[in-house]
Amino acid sequence: MRLALLALLTALALAGCGGSDTTAVGDCTIEPGTQCSGADLTGADLEGADLSAADLSNANLTDTNLSGAVLAAANLSGSQIVDADLSDADLTGANLTGAMITGTDLDGTILCGTTRTDGTIDDTSCPVTTDTTAPTSEAEVTSFDVGDLSCDDGATSATISVSWETENATAVDIALDTAAPTGYGPSGSTDVAVPCDGAPHALTITPQGDAGPGVPETESVTAG
């Protein structure tokens, strides 16, 4: 009888350890596309985590273990990547503009279409095409929808909804006027903050693919 009770309690304990694969560090949910701008992930063990298209801009990644993590099209602009482990991580199409990277293990890190800290593109790890007779198709934007900008009285800024679809792209960069672009996945949607100053503002999307950047598209946005 005691053995049967012990077996039942063990089974219940194991069942309680199951459930969702989604984990969190503080207020940051570790999953693709997560929105964790400014998050403190100091010392977190995120080995092999899927953070593709995640917003980790201005995040603190000091001593963070991201070895083997998928950070394709992730926004890491302005982040602190100090004494971290990015070995074998996938940074395809990731945005590192303005990030501080020091003392970090980058052994085996995949860098393809990756925006460096100075805004230039790093294609160090892009796969080599063996079939030279078949040119790589250029990335292109097939759909770029921008919502209407409506500003409340006295508001200095308001957000608009932006959605997009592409072909042959691994990521897209979206920029307002001359601001540094933010990297996103090849298709998706986001909200963009626009000043309520009555002036027209240029919202530009640039597709990124294996053949390099495609032709950008620009929409003019003005407060209604």
Give the CATH architecture of domain 28-126. 3 Solenoid (2.160)
Cα torsion at 186, 188, 189, 192 (round to 10°)? -20
pLDDT of 136 reads 72
Confidence of residue 129 (pLDDT cuts 50, 70, 90): low
For the cut 80, the answer to whether the pLDDT of residue 7 exceeds it is no
Predicted confidence at residue 100, as pLDDT, reads: 96
149 — pLDDT class (breaks 50, 70, 90)? confident
Beta-bridge partner residues of 105: 85
Which class is 140-221 in CATH? Answer: mainly beta
Domain regions of the chain by residue span = 28-126, 140-221
Q: Greatest CA span in the chain, whole angstroms?
A: 79
The alpha carbon dihedral of 7, 9, 12, 18 has a sign of negative
Do 140-221 and 28-126 fall under one CATH topology?
A: no
Indicate whether 143 pLDDT > 70. yes
Which of 15-24, 62-71, 114-123, 134-143 is the least confident region? 15-24
Overall average pLDDT of the 79-106 stretch = 96
What is the rounded distance in angstroms from the CA atom of residue 173 to the CA atom of residue 184? 6
| 114 vs 92: CA distance, rounded Å | 6
pLDDT at 138: 92
> pTM of whole model > 0.75?
no
Report residue 87's pLDDT band, with 50, 70 and 90 as the boundaries. Answer: very high
Q: What is the pLDDT, as a whole number, of residue 13?
A: 38
Looking at every residue in the chain, the average pLDDT score rounds to 87
